[in-house]
Structure 1
């Protein structure tokens, strides 16, 4: 018995010692609440904690304490739980519905509410959106324990005056990928050598989610379940303050806001947000970090121009988003120019800022509520002063693309109304600033160097043909998209079926039918024909399915078409004769069978995991088509004869000569290579094709003008194209452009790859227009000397095969519905392209 008691005393002493490094100032703790160390069996910072253990610990806190409840707001692609721990006094939690209702009054522009002493401030402490920036989730455990277990008067006061929403891990899939890696390579004793494997994570690394998306760019675009779950939660609660904890390079220190000046000339967020409130909270962070001897910096590098960050989206919702960046230990201990940086040290800084955020928010509760209400009132006032009263767009033929755009508007709680011929989005609404975000475009900027994109007019992502209007007739409010675009059920035919290819989901239907071994042809010329639903004109690329040519019987075919229509909601038509009223007949040579793609994608070191993930995600989640992901390290032994399409995204392809020749020979045998951005440049540099890059001749006699060294980073940075939207002329008769009805469409460019138009008159699919700029920053030199003379898509022959080269990224962040079709056409129809000599 004495021995057991001694063990308990030693354990408690050890735990208190470990805890004191983090929170010695906020004792005493409730001994009945287990600390993270006691629950996990190791001290915080000794190992990286798996997400399931994080969730289990928070669940334990909710079970043993009346200060906390745990809810699930979603699941990741890999099925991990997304959870929120709500912490406050027992009285506040029992009265949470009433408090919520009072809180939400401050998000209503018509309200005249005033903050009262009994109304707590709502704070969302959010952690670990980048999976391999792990210190913050460990800090979340310490923060949760502090507010659930501490009986320190300061903590009790915060609980009375705040409702805390602790989101411990925004990106569980990425975190666990990194956690497994860091723990697997952890040494004993710890190895601080920066060259050790522990500090050099393998591709694709843990920053991103399952499909290698950066979730800290997804708040606006709402592509992934992690973001969609969080957005639905967010618009239920509208917290006053939101944290966004990150890590940066090991040679740095610690960053908190204020950020670098917003790059927009006239930011849509209120000046009070990015000046007054940021500076107010900064004073608190400086004092807290000073007290523990931590160095820090502000107002550099990071900017909140792009509205899709975890630290910028709240700024457009009446809250205050706050960014923190901690120098990373990239493992458990690492040597830097400033000495050794340890995992516990990084955690302590994040934990300190967590507690300080609550302190600053509580002590300025009335100010934050006044600001929140004024934010929404000022939106209405701005809308009333603006000449633009709404944005309108028509339904058109591609209804599923429109539906996807409507979904984006609704998830941000933007009001949309349906009219007789389309939709209107009124500007006079609580989400006025989000309406601006979706539709407004800019060509003048305060800055020229951006941490991320300088263009994000989401309507252009979806190739929406919209216009600003000064007056409009109100329509029917749109709330449910389930039955918004009903299609007539397909009738059965014993002759043939035709599927409209203008719809975004037509490619998914094509894949669905090919997976069921149904032969599908593509119309290389338009035609008008009698259908069971009346006479109809079909555009380039329309899918033709003759009944008699199938290996399966007519009933099997009809059932498959019904299943496809039910799944993808695409218009389909039965025809009883191949004789067209206008244009080619169904037996024409211009109606050609489509070869089923057997696709592969190169991945691995040097390859852009973002772009590779975008391809994988597109095919998995929208087309439901498998693609083989081929690691570069295995190329020497891969049998390429299994594939007829290969995708190469941006990357540094340092392939040996034997492997290079292997891929080139495979293309020459009649296969299709699709290259995106830097991979297109690589192909040209390798001289696989006779195409060229756009260049300008420089005068060798030019004298370099001396410039201040301090300006070098800014001057060099502005020459890169960080992300802007441009207009291209599209050959809509080309198979790569099948399904498009407008000859001019927006494209997204975030690189400096300039493709010279092909010398072959039929090989340039898309070229930038004479006046291409739509949205975003680009230098005059890049615009006039490189972009305007260049092509966006060209095709070139290699033997019997071909390379389809994209200068831009048609799948950017999973959001470019407007250009996805170009890539999918390359995948499914690329082998159909014949390039005349």
Structure 2
């Protein structure tokens, strides 16, 4: 009987039209407003809709309906438009500016409006942040049509009492990648077999954006144009409710909040949010889904601990973020344990939850507005009670890394002030909870298993030296980063230029000089020299550009150096003599020419696309250096002779012995292999290097303690390192650490790769410190038995070449400015590393 019931709701009834399958209850519709089916020429759910057609339909609605307007808030990496359709009554649209002013008063603690039930509630319906979870964007089309065309009293009431912002596709690049796949392999008749190509998208799949990043983790980090555009929009409107629609495994059902309990011991979001409001809205969703016979679950999984999801970031902005997860058809129709799940069925659940969200928000708008007002006021109250009055930070050696961090703070509307030669962020400000997010670290947690990271103190991502302060000395408020870095313009030299390698942008400048045909050297020892700007001490790695040794004349060299400095804002100094005041001279054998990197990276099935994308993004967008991406399927016939650097990120590399020998022979010729995470373990397991993993002796005499079966996922899950920040001791004299001044830096660990320190006493570049914990959850066993004895970064010789082994990801989510340099040094200086025996 249950199977028959489920089959009945999974299939579209042949007795009603496809459109009425979704919204029969909302008749009558304005016949002058085209439905999605009329505009697209096919029924919703019959095909996967391309993003440009979604945008075109939204533009048509804005053109023909007096209820809708459309705005573009950005473009993706691939140039696709990011749009939001605003829908409400014509009267509300005419007065939107006034309504916005009234709405924003509830976010201002200095105001005290009490017209909670009079101002329309602001709702942001967000869809398809993961490109291959496509049902939600189709639901967005149906929702937009319903709101723009329905004259049903229920819909008219919603429009009167709300302003609805529909963002149909947060990740257009990923969506179109998946849409092409699903439509390309669609059969006629449809093929429900899970093994069919339609249901098994090829690497890297459509989940991620152009650079293979998960945009649902980017709300806090704000790396990509999709997120930065949305954040800018968000902080203009501060919606009361925000939806985050997803899909999950085909064999599941449907999920809506409340989530699993927050893993933090004392979550910084108010308890009213994740208890009262979630349960209030949950009652609405359960009744709506019950009415169409859909099964669902709540509370078991999906914690909102990490504040950078589309369903958690709004919780730190006075709104209510809501997560939905729909079992995916992964195509148009697929066999499950309960029959066949169809694309239209998945769309209907998302559509039902969309309309229900509006219903719940409208019927509780006074509660939502009161909550929003209390949220910002309580933030100020909490700040006032705290002994910490602010955070000061600076870095005298790396102004461009500081600039990038300040830019991140300003993106989240955090107040920053210039104070002396550093900066101060006061805690008593509207964005107090975001200040906590950026700076606070934690050791104690309520839970031990996390859906994502357990550490996110962004200041540590940037290796920012910061400290809490109990009194404030505020200077001028920073409103833009445009003029934060203004190095002294370089003067023309007939002898040499020296570039301060401490600056984050120095590597990009180095690449630019090499691309423009200059020979650049690196200093392997520090020195002090007289420059035209006075005496200057240079750190390990300082770049030297000798003028007379170039193939270009002095004027051309100066032009290239000057243009590079103007682009990257890096300190460049002019010297007229190679004789140093202290340390080595410029003609020393310790000043060695840098080989221009010719890099390749293995990608494809088995390779972790996130990490590969992080490498690609770093080199593309910050260094402006090309990297060849070699698919695994082509590796056997690919020639490595044209490259001097090969990157292997985490993954499963099922290479043949012949292919392994190919890598060994290539490295042995004097080239550099860089491995990250599980690729480092692979290199050790395949004996490319003579290094070892940290191993603990098993105690065979220890008694096995019986545990409840039901607790197995929790007990086993807590032993994984889901994402935490640790301190390492860095050898700043090593070429991989050139540019660092502090021997103690934070690293991000989200794996269980434990590298044993090298037996060669000069080859361990970074080892976890004696007191390594900075932020995030780790078990005592992992800390004592695995982390503390291990190394984070080691190098190993292979013939005449070098293997650089990272245990931890130095490029995590495009945000670890503090460890990017380690990876970039491996690319640019890897062939300069010799390991003394």
Tell me which interval the TM-score lies in, with the shorter structure as reference length.
over 0.9
1:101 paired to 2:97: no
2:536 corresponds to which residue? 536
For residue 84 of structure 1, give the secondary structure of its aligned residue in structure 2: strand
Q: Name the CA distance, whole Å, in 1 between partners of 2:137 and 2:393.
A: 43
Q: Name the CA distance, whole Å, in 2 between partners of 1:365 and 1:198.
A: 43
Change (3 A) 1:14 1:63: farther
For residue 617 of structure 1, give the secondary structure of its aligned residue in structure 2: helix
1:38 corresponds to which residue? 38
For residue 726 of structure 1, give the secondary structure of its aligned residue in structure 2: strand
- Shift in Å at residue 116 of structure 1? 4.8
Contact 1:15 1:38 (8 Å CA) reproduced: no
What does 1:307-386 correspond to in 2, within 5 Å?
307-386=307-386
- Shift in Å at residue 14 of structure 1? 10
Q: Name the CA distance, whole Å, in 2 between partners of 1:346 and 1:684.
A: 45
- Shift in Å at residue 227 of structure 1? 0.1
1:438 corresponds to which residue? 438
Change (3 A) 1:714 1:555: same
State the Cα deviation string for residues 235-289 of structure 1 (Å, max 9, x = none): 0000000000000000000000000000000000000000000000000000000
State the Cα deviation string for residues 48-89 of structure 1 (Å, max 9, x = none): 000000000000000001000010000000000000000000
Change (3 A) 1:14 1:90: farther
Contact 2:597 2:828 (8 Å CA) reproduced: yes
1:4 corresponds to which residue? none
What does 1:199-278 correspond to in 2, within 5 Å?
199-278=199-278
1:391 paired to 2:391: yes
For residue 755 of structure 1, give the secondary structure of its aligned residue in structure 2: coil
Q: Name the CA distance, whole Å, in 1 between partners of 2:405 and 2:439.
A: 12
- Shift in Å at residue 394 of structure 1? 2.0
1:144 corresponds to which residue? 144
Change (3 A) 1:234 1:336: same
Q: Name the CA distance, whole Å, in 2 between partners of 1:554 and 1:223.
A: 39
2:803 corresponds to which residue? 803
1:473 corresponds to which residue? 473
For residue 712 of structure 1, give the secondary structure of its aligned residue in structure 2: helix
Q: Name the CA distance, whole Å, in 1 between partners of 2:728 and 2:820.
A: 15
Specify every segment of 5 or more residues in structure 2 that has no aligned partner in the other structure, as ranges: 1-12
Contact 1:289 1:295 (8 Å CA) reproduced: yes
1:23 paired to 2:23: yes
Change (3 A) 1:68 1:14: farther
State the Cα deviation string for residues 192-220 of structure 1 (Å, max 9, x = none): 00000000000000000000000000000
Contact 2:260 2:303 (8 Å CA) reproduced: yes
Contact 1:488 1:571 (8 Å CA) reproduced: yes
1:566 corresponds to which residue? 566
Q: Name the CA distance, whole Å, in 1 between partners of 2:427 and 2:116.
A: 31
Contact 1:15 1:37 (8 Å CA) reproduced: no
Q: Name the CA distance, whole Å, in 2 between partners of 1:238 and 1:95.
A: 18
For residue 374 of structure 2, give the secondary structure of its aligned residue in structure 1: helix
Contact 1:212 1:610 (8 Å CA) reproduced: yes
1:714 paired to 2:714: yes
2:735 corresponds to which residue? 735
Contact 2:178 2:205 (8 Å CA) reproduced: yes
Q: Name the CA distance, whole Å, in 2 between partners of 1:134 and 1:355.
A: 18
1:6 corresponds to which residue? none
What does 1:362-761 correspond to in 2, within 5 Å?
362-761=362-761
1:70 corresponds to which residue? 70
- Shift in Å at residue 688 of structure 1? 1.3
1:293 paired to 2:293: yes
Q: Normalization by structure 2: what TM-score?
A: 0.98
State the Cα deviation string for residues 317-364 of structure 1 (Å, max 9, x = none): 000000000000000000011211000000000000000000000000
For residue 747 of structure 2, give the secondary structure of its aligned residue in structure 1: strand
Contact 1:524 1:541 (8 Å CA) reproduced: yes
- How much is the aligned-residue C-alpha RMSD, in angstroms? 1.0
State the Cα deviation string for residues 80-129 of structure 1 (Å, max 9, x = none): 00000000000000100000000000111111111354410000000000
Contact 1:453 1:722 (8 Å CA) reproduced: yes
What does 1:76-91 correspond to in 2, within 5 Å?
76-91=76-91
State the Cα deviation string for residues 709-761 of structure 1 (Å, max 9, x = none): 10001111000000000000000000000000000000000000000000001
For residue 218 of structure 1, give the secondary structure of its aligned residue in structure 2: helix
For residue 401 of structure 1, give the secondary structure of its aligned residue in structure 2: helix
- Shift in Å at residue 15 of structure 1? 12
Q: Name the CA distance, whole Å, in 1 between partners of 2:199 and 2:44.
A: 19
Q: Name the CA distance, whole Å, in 2 between partners of 1:654 and 1:551.
A: 46
1:9 corresponds to which residue? none
2:186 corresponds to which residue? 186
Q: Name the CA distance, whole Å, in 1 between partners of 2:109 and 2:756.
A: 52
1:833 corresponds to which residue? 833
- Shift in Å at residue 472 of structure 1? 1.5
Q: Name the CA distance, whole Å, in 1 between partners of 2:553 and 2:762.
A: 40
Q: Name the CA distance, whole Å, in 2 between partners of 1:456 and 1:311.
A: 16
Contact 1:240 1:319 (8 Å CA) reproduced: yes
State the Cα deviation string for residues 18-66 of structure 1 (Å, max 9, x = none): 1110001110000000000000000000000000000000000000010
State the Cα deviation string for residues 420-462 of structure 1 (Å, max 9, x = none): 1200000000000000000000000000000000000000000
Q: Name the CA distance, whole Å, in 1 between partners of 2:194 and 2:18.
A: 26
Q: Name the CA distance, whole Å, in 2 between partners of 1:808 and 1:464.
A: 19
For residue 145 of structure 2, give the secondary structure of its aligned residue in structure 1: helix
- Shift in Å at residue 560 of structure 1? 0.6
For residue 393 of structure 2, give the secondary structure of its aligned residue in structure 1: strand
Segment of structure 1 superposing worse, 393-402 or 727-736: 393-402
- Shift in Å at residue 395 of structure 1? 3.8
1:302 corresponds to which residue? 302
Q: Name the CA distance, whole Å, in 1 between partners of 2:590 and 2:543.
A: 12
Q: Name the CA distance, whole Å, in 2 between partners of 1:395 and 1:824.
A: 20
For residue 266 of structure 1, give the secondary structure of its aligned residue in structure 2: coil
1:7 corresponds to which residue? none
For residue 442 of structure 2, give the secondary structure of its aligned residue in structure 1: coil
Q: Name the CA distance, whole Å, in 2 between partners of 1:387 and 1:101.
A: 34
User: Number of matched residues?
Assistant: 825
State the Cα deviation string for residues 814-834 of structure 1 (Å, max 9, x = none): 000000000000000011001
Q: Name the CA distance, whole Å, in 2 between partners of 1:822 and 1:22.
A: 53
Q: Name the CA distance, whole Å, in 1 between partners of 2:217 and 2:750.
A: 14
- Shift in Å at residue 168 of structure 1? 0.1
Contact 1:88 1:162 (8 Å CA) reproduced: yes
Contact 2:407 2:480 (8 Å CA) reproduced: no
Contact 2:395 2:465 (8 Å CA) reproduced: no
Q: Name the CA distance, whole Å, in 1 between partners of 2:116 and 2:724.
A: 45
For residue 507 of structure 2, give the secondary structure of its aligned residue in structure 1: helix
Q: Name the CA distance, whole Å, in 2 between partners of 1:421 and 1:624.
A: 30
Contact 1:578 1:586 (8 Å CA) reproduced: yes
Segment of structure 1 superposing worse, 697-706 or 275-284: 697-706
Contact 2:116 2:365 (8 Å CA) reproduced: no
Contact 1:674 1:803 (8 Å CA) reproduced: yes
Specify every segment of 5 or more residues in structure 1 that has no aligned partner in the other structure, as ranges: 1-12
For residue 641 of structure 2, give the secondary structure of its aligned residue in structure 1: helix
State the Cα deviation string for residues 565-600 of structure 1 (Å, max 9, x = none): 111000001100000011100000110000111000
Q: Name the CA distance, whole Å, in 2 between partners of 1:804 and 1:236.
A: 45
